Amino acid sequence: MDINALTHKAKVGFKVTFENDSSIVAAAPGRVNLIGEHIDYCDGFVLPFALAQNIVIAAAPNDTSIARFASDQGDEIVEIDLTGDILESSPKWANYPRGVMQYFREETGCSLTGFDAYITSNVPAGGGLSSSAAFELAVATLLEELTKKTLGTKEKALLSQKAEHHYAHVPCGIMDQFASAFGEENHLVLIDCQISEPHLVPFENPDLTVIVANTCVSHELSDGGYASRRQNTEDGLKIIGKETWRDVSMDDVEAAKEEMGDVIFRRSRHVVSEIQRVKDAVMALEAQAFDALGSYMYASHDSLRDDFNVSCEELDIMVDIAKSIGKGGGVIGSRMTGGGFGGSTVTLCESSNADAIIATLHQQYKTRTGITPEIFTSRPSQGARILEGAPRAAQVVPPSPELDPIG
């Protein structure tokens, strides 16, 4: 379903649910990460892009002090009172907009008045493709339009990350929200996570295609696997005794091996090697050295599987199939993408072979696991935006005669 069809679905859903026409449509994309995993919270570099898959919200003010959220996922309408502090509550999915609304008010000083919102999405939920960041950014963008108060893009991404930390209790880094906020067509978003700065890297070669393969499994989701990995890296850095991972060399990690013990040592080795791989991958991309780029992607997967232990059997199988298709079949590189423990892989391939590769991934994955995967191609697309806006008050006010210096 493309963005137009998704928008249509959101507007029709809005009308049927709230018996009114929507006046605003906001959208924000999920993301896929080409390389640089589990190092956004280690001051590393990451290289995601905004997917063509989005969360789209149709909305309109409702002249009350209540925000009502409905979606195409069920008949439930969640009502959120905007008169006092907005606290966590049930259902859980509504905690994303709760957090974003609370922080939007705090940070802009704007009060919020009531509105109705209807949500549609073609970002696979639980697919490791940041549907939650897309949801946060779509809500924040909607609030900007409703209040006519525009946040800076970075401010909006950080506000969304804060909602994820405190309302969804995932101590995530900045990658997902930055990719969803800063994404541009035909560009990767290289993020320097030490200074929280995005840098757009052109990615428009029509001969290259990115395949996203959702394994359709999610293990250990918010069971603390993510938080414990983050803690491991903090412990590792403490033992090394440096301020930031950016100043840590592999020699530093080796020197601290005894004191670290096996687990922290392997986590630390992943961080240092992955930071280097992203730098190498960006150079390979610029030099169009695709074989090298592919080898960094495979090495990233191996490190996430063996040192960081965030892969799982299904992700390994999907990467293994891509690798066995290999260069001869048009595969350049493949790896797990996102937080791990299930979710998706990202495979870079030659466009002319993409259909055949998707067919093979699909068929062999199903044979080996018994699970039907969800596989699609995507291109770097635009970040969070308003697709249809509320009419603005006239901006140009003619000067009054008495203030006119010429008159």
List 140, 143, 146, 172, residue binding ligand GLA (CB under 6 A): 172
188: β partners: 201
- Asked if residue 270 binds ligand GLA (CB under 6 A), the reply is no
Alpha-carbon span 303 to 282, nearest angstrom: 18
Residue 407 identity? G
CA atoms within 13 A on the CB side of 220: 14
Identify which of residues 43 and 176 has a Cβ nearer to ligand GLA in the complex.
Answer: 176
Identify which of residues 30 and 380 has a Cβ nearer to ligand GLA in the complex.
Answer: 30
Alpha-carbon span 326 to 177, nearest angstrom: 33
Closest distance to ligand GLA from the beta carbon of 364 (Å): 26
- Asked if residue 162 binds ligand GLA (CB under 6 A), the reply is no
346-365 mask for ligand GLA (x: CB under 6 A)?
Answer: --------------------
Query: Helices marked H in 175-256 — which ranges?
Result: 175-182, 225-240, 250-255
SS3 of residue 294 by DSSP: helix
Binding range to ligand GLA, per CB under 6 A, among 74-82, 167-175, 270-278, 374-382: 167-175
Identify which of residues 24 and 51 has a Cβ nearer to ligand GLA in the complex.
Answer: 51
Cis peptide before 91 (omega within 30 of 0): yes
75 a catalytic residue: no
Residue 20 identity? N
Identify which of residues 175 and 208 has a Cβ nearer to ligand GLA in the complex.
Answer: 175
List 116, 136, 145, 176, residue binding ligand GLA (CB under 6 A): 176
Alpha-carbon span 326 to 262, nearest angstrom: 33
Identify which of residues 144 and 274 has a Cβ nearer to ligand GLA in the complex.
Answer: 274
List 338, 342, 373, 383, residue binding ligand GLA (CB under 6 A): 338
Closest distance to ligand GLA from the beta carbon of 172 (Å): 3
Residue among 40, 43, 116, 176 flagged as catalytic:
176
Write out the binding residues for ligand GLA, residues 30-69 only, by CB under 6 A: 37-38, 40-41
Alpha-carbon span 165 to 159, nearest angstrom: 10
Q: How many residues bind ligand GLA (CB under 6 A)?
A: 11
Alpha-carbon span 275 to 43, nearest angstrom: 9
What the block records as the tokens of 59 is 């909305």
- Asked if residue 339 binds ligand GLA (CB under 6 A), the reply is yes
Identify which of residues 46 and 151 has a Cβ nearer to ligand GLA in the complex.
Answer: 46
Sheet of strand 385-388: strand arrangement? 74-81, 66-71, 115-121, 48-61, 24-33, 385-388
First to last CA, the chain: 58
Closest distance to ligand GLA from the beta carbon of 48 (Å): 9
CA atoms within 13 A on the CB side of 355: 1
297 touches 34 (CB < 8 A): yes
Identify which of residues 161 and 382 has a Cβ nearer to ligand GLA in the complex.
Answer: 161
Closest distance to ligand GLA from the beta carbon of 88 (Å): 19
Alpha-carbon span 405 to 129, nearest angstrom: 57
345 Cα distance to chain centroid: 14
List 59, 60, 146, 175, residue binding ligand GLA (CB under 6 A): 175
Residues recognised as catalytic = 176
Site residues (vs ligand GLA, CB under 6 A) = 37-38, 40-41, 130, 172-173, 175-176, 338-339
